[in-house]
Amino acid sequence: MAGNNRTFAQSRAADQEKLLALREARQAWTRAGDPVARLYRRASTTLSLERLLGIFSEELAHALPYGQMVYRHQLGYQEFVYTNGLGGSHRCDYQLTLEGVNYGAISFNRRLRFAEEELEAIEFLLSILICPLRNACQYAMVEQAALTDSLTEIPNKRALDLELARDCSLDDRHGDAYTLILCDLDHFKAVNDNFGHVIGDHILQATAKALREAIRDGDTIFRFGGEEFAIVLPHAETPAGKEVADRIRKAIHDIRIPCGEHQVRVTASAGVAAHRTGESPTQWLARADDALYRAKNAGRNCTQVAHVVTGNRQAHM
């Protein structure tokens, strides 16, 4: 019996020593100030792609001097670009892959040539980055899927709500100009009734494609719901918004979808509203929707501009 107690006590003491060693190792790891340990620790704290790349650039700067870091990756319909610092004439480039899957390209620029040991250090730190980077990219794709219309592959109403809130804030703080266009396909129910929902879906997809081709770089399109689309134009006031809306309507008018002996076509009506300082997203959207409603009442296939309330009067702007 005494032997069993002694064996148990020895085993217990050995377990305590292991726990103590593990605790000391964890504390040493937590206190370690080298870039490798810090990168390992910090990279596991976020799923934000932008935040992760910021952490990586900070820790790389502790290891070696560089001028600029640029990361690019196509995430679904959106190209993600992260840039930090100023460039130089010497550059090194890397394609970031894990298990045969590409997770973007990263480059480093500076005025002085990179030494061989510096390139080895960069590559070692990139090997630490790649797994957290994969997780962040996958998380970004999940987020994007939640904000994307599956039929047209453009942002959905939830994405529009986030965009309008952001743009209202930027306009109120910095005076940035934003204009919203609501565009609705005319008599679309009749298309579905007469030609079927498959043809209707083809028209919606063709409309999204026509919208992409009709807008500028930096403009954003959304499927607002059903046959209704929204377009947000940064750095644009009412006249530019009306011009874009008319161009969009023409692009939609030119769509032809074959259906047996027929060529199915549609027209569109549009309402345009420039954001006004202090206006909420709901108020902004309501003015654009009112302009669209007036376009429908005016016979469809036209553009109307939103009212702006000035005191007890209304004015077209």
Catalytically annotated residues = 227
Torsion of the alpha carbons at 311, 182, 178 and 277, rounded to the nearest 10:
20
Contact 147, 155 (CB under 8 A): yes
Tally Cβ neighbours within 10 Å of residue 126. Answer: 15
Helices 2-31 and 35-43: crossing angle, nearest 10°?
100
| Three-class DSSP category at 310 | strand
Contact 114, 85 (CB under 8 A): no
Determine contact, residues 154/148, Cβ cutoff 8 Å.
yes
* C-beta of residue 192 within 8 angstroms of C-beta of residue 238: no
Give backbone dihedrals phi and psi of 152, rounded to 5 degrees, phi first.
-95, -10
What are the residue ranges of helices labelled H in the chain?
2-31, 35-43, 49-63, 116-146, 157-174, 188-195, 197-214, 238-253, 281-297
d(CA 137, CA 133): 6
CB 69 within 8 A of CB 55: no
Straight-line distance from the first to the last Cα atom of the chain, in angstroms, rounded to the nearest whole number? 96
Give the residue among 259, 286, 262, 261 at the shortest CA–CA distance from 275.
286
